[in-house]
């Protein structure tokens, strides 16, 4: 079964508010095995809401809307629906009683504006709003089903989960849409595509593959409309298992999470600790790791050595190394990693030093040249990166590369 999502509100069109409602709804609908054909947002303008609703009902038998249900004059969704379904607004006694109760409990006076919330198009079924005053609406017309919900995220989520979902399950029958994702690093999108071509070509027709790239990372996602969750998941996991020999060395995780989370969780699981010594990434790796709850169980800290003085003073990098090879060199990152591991007293350490730009590059050491190193009880290894992109992207890619190098080092030692 297909659906379309329509979010309504001027604030969505000026970019001040990111439309998280429609992403949340898309996820829930997918879990229900309902394919989202399109998502769109229009402002609080009657003719545009009307046009969008017509377009949506042509695309899919289920249309879900949020927003435009408030009591103020800029909320027009109900009026438009009365027009489309040629019906009248009527005061709904049950809704009115509910609103009166809600206000009485809080000791607030009931104004005319609040009372207007009990006006409901007479062709609609009411979806009660347990967390607010604007009721939701359900219109059924032949094969068209329109679910109209408020735009306030927590009110909408409650209503969708408890009142819209049962209707949708009935409409959708038994199928579920199952997704599995694998995370890769150290390889570009087109290279990965070349590597897995023979596998991709043999994928069953009812399984779809998507490439989801981010700086330093590519996520591969398989999707399948299955008779039940477990069967679907098994099929997709088996397919990924077949692909693994082709791409094993680039594999990060079978869990769809940031690489910092994969690294952290593997460290915690084996009781190991780690730290970072960061120059051009400026604390980005430490920040990524510590954004994850519970990170203190394995992550002890970082020295952000942005100047050579700090590299010498806090990380004991020798001034001879800095003078002879420069801050961006294999020698310097290796000393940074080895010494950070000792000073911060951890099992593993990562070090990064590079030129993130836009200034600071030379012919010899251009912007995008980055050295990374990982130290462990087995010593130290380093790697040179030549990265493109903005300063932001160079920092993000350097950080992902260092974390991936550390992850591989850790996995190597487990074998």
Q: List binders of its own copies among 226-255 (CB under 8 A).
A: none
Pairing assessment for the beta strands 217-226 and 369-376 based on DSSP bridges: unpaired
Nearest to 308 by CA among 344, 350, 345, 280: 280
Contact between 33 and its own copies (CB under 8 A)? no
DSSP string, 98-150: HHHHHHHHHT----HHHHGGGEEETTSEEE--TTSS--EEEEEETTEEEEEE-
Count CB-CB contacts under 10 A for residue 228.
11
Interface pick for its own copies out of 101, 191, 244, 255 (rule CB under 8 A): 191
How far apart are CB 386 and its own copies at their closest, in Å? Answer: 6
Please report how close the Cβ of residue 412 comes to its own copies at its closest, in angstroms: 26
Q: Is 388 in the site for its own copies (CB under 8 A)?
A: yes
DSSP bridge partners of 180: 222
Within positions 3 to 32, which residues make up the interface with its own copies, using CB under 8 A?
10-20, 22-28, 30
What is the C-alpha separation between 77 and 272, in angstroms, rounded? 56
Q: How far is the CB of 169 from its own copies (least distance, A)?
A: 18
Q: Which stretch binds its own copies (CB under 8 A): 76-84, 87-95, 296-304, 376-384?
A: 296-304
Tokens of 304: 């952000």
- Contact positions with its own copies (CB under 8 A) in 102-141: 102, 105-108, 111, 113-114, 131, 133
Q: Which residues ranging from 75 to 94 are in contact with its own copies (CB under 8 A)?
A: none
When asked if residue 42 is in the footprint of its own copies (CB under 8 A), the reply is: yes
- What the block records as the tokens of 104 is 């009485």
Tell me which of 90, 144, 175, 287 binds its own copies, using CB under 8 A. Answer: 287
CB of 400 to its own copies, least distance (A): 14
Bridge partners of residue 382, in order along the sequence? 373
In angstroms, give the least distance from the CB of 123 to its own copies.
26
Residues binding its own copies: what is the number (CB under 8 A)?
114
Q: Does 332 bind its own copies (CB under 8 A)?
A: no
- Angle, to 10 degrees, between the axis of helix 259-269 and the axis of helix 391-414? 30
């Amino acid at each position: 079964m297909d659906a379309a999502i329509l979010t309504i509100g001027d604030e969505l069109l000026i970019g001040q508010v990111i439309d998280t409602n429609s992403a949340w709804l898309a996820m829930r609908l997918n879990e229900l095995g309902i394919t989202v054909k399109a998502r769109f947002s229009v402002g609080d303008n009657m003719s545009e809401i009307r046009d969008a609703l017509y377009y949506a009902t042509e695309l899919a038998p289920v249309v879900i809307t949020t927003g435009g249900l408030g009591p103020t004059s800029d909320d027009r969704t109900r009026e438009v629906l009365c027009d489309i379904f040629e019906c009248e607004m009527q005061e709904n006694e049950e809704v009115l009683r509910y609103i009166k109760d809600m206000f009485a409990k809080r000791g607030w006076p009931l104004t005319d504006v609040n009372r207007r919330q009990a006006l409901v198009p007479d062709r609609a079924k009411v979806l009660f709003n347990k967390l607010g005053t604007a009721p939701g609406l359900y219109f059924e017309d032949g094969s068209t089903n329109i679910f109209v919900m408020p735009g306030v995220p927590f009110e909408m989520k409650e209503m969708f989960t408890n009142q819209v979902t049962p209707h949708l399950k009935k409409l959708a029958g038994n199928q579920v849409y199952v997704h599995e994702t694998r995370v890769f690093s150290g390889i570009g999108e087109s290279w990965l595509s070349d590597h897995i071509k023979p596998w991709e070509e043999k994928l069953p027709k009812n399984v779809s593959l998507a490439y989801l790239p981010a700086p330093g990372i590519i996520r591969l996602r398989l999707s399948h409309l299955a008779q039940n969750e477990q069967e679907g998941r098994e099929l997709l996991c088996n397919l990924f298992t077949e692909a693994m020999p082709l791409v094993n060395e680039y594999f990060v995780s079978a869990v769809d999470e940031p690489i910092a989370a994969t690294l952290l969780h593997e460290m915690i699981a084996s009781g190991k600790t780690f730290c970072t010594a960061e120059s051009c990434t400026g604390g980005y790796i430490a920040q990524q790791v510590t954004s994850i709850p519970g990170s203190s169980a394995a992550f002890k800290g970082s020295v952000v050595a942005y100047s050579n003085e700090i590299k010498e003073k806090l990380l004991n990098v020798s001034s001879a190394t800095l003078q002879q090879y420069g801050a961006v060199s294999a020698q310097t990152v290796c000393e940074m990693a080895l010494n950070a591991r000792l000073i911060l007293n951890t099992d593993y350490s990562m070090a990064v030093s590079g030129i993130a730009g836009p200034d600071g590059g030379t012919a010899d050491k251009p912007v995008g040249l980055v050295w990374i190193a990982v130290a462990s009880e087995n010593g130290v290894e380093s790697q040179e990166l030549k990265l493109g992109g903005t300063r932001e992207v160079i920092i993000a890619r350097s950080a992902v590369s260092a974390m991936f190098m550390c992850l591989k080092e850790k996995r190597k030692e487990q074998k």
